[in-house]
Amino acid sequence: MTLAAVLVIPLLLSGCGFVLEGEVARVVDGDTIELSHAGGRDRVRLYGVDCPERGQPYGAEATAFARRLAPVGGPVTVHVRFLLRDARNRLRGEVILPDGRSLAYELLRAGLAWHFRPHDAADPMLPYLEENARAERKGLWADPHAIRPSAWRRMRDRGETAPP
């Protein structure tokens, strides 16, 4: 193994990243935006949350909420959490709004996202905000049959229908 690999591989896997400043080019869905920045354009998957999918109950609401908070052309700062991209070639990061709020936190607070459990240890606010929204029956938590997006995708891919 080369010296460069010895030095770079731990950095890539460590979860540390970098900061991008730019403008929202597009809100793809509740948990994905396209960012236009000095280095080009990137898709960013919000760190720590999973919003309902398009076609899933509350998916349109999550997307509309994200568009209200992070409108096209609006400035945002992205704290990229992982240097490695996900399977869909998206950066994974925390999107910070101009007023300093986290878009992911606001989605959780509004009851329009599940927290992504593998990130609990790194950010204990994620489960806390979800539990508060759940207790207050906000957003998707008003639905006793709310299904995590990962389960909904599996059901959709198998041709099954979700419960009412």
| pTM attached to this predicted model | 0.86
Which one from 81, 90, 92, 109 is the annotated catalytic residue?
Answer: 90
Q: Does residue 43 form part of some domain?
A: yes
User: What's residue 120's pLDDT?
Assistant: 66
> What's the CATH number where 45 sits?
2.40.50.90
Q: Specify the amino acid at residue 109.
A: R
Averaged pLDDT in 10-residue chunks for the chain of 164 residues:
43 64 98 96 95 94 98 96 86 96 98 86 90 98 93 87 62
Instruction: Note whether residue 61 is domain-resident.
Output: yes
Q: Of 45, 65, 146, 142, which is closest to residue 107 (Cα–Cα)?
A: 65
Domain contains 40 = yes
User: What CA–CA distance (Å, rounded) separates 107 from 116?
Assistant: 12
90 is catalytic: yes
Q: Is residue 37 part of a domain?
A: yes
Per the annotation, the verdict on 92 as an active-site residue is no
- The pLDDT of residue 4: 44
| Structure-block tokens of residue 137 | 């029956």
How many domains, in total, are found in the chain? 1
54 labelled catalytic: no
- 3-state SS assignment for residue 16: coil
Residue 163 domain-assigned (yes or no) = no
Residue 13 has a pLDDT of 41
Q: What residues are paired with 25 via a beta bridge?
A: none
pLDDT score at 161: 74
Q: Which structural domain, as residue segments, surrounds residue 104?
A: 16-158
Please report whether residue 68 resides in a domain.
Answer: yes
Catalytic residue (choose from 23, 41, 45, 85): 45
Residue 51 belongs to some domain of the structure: yes
Inter-CA distances, 1 with 4, 6, 9, 90, Å? 8, 7, 11, 28
What distance in Å separates the CA atoms of residue 77 and residue 23, rounded to the nearest whole number? 8
The shares of helix, strand and coil residues in the chain, as percent rounded to the nearest 5, are: 35, 25, 40
CA distance 22 to 6: 32
Residue 11 lies in a domain: no
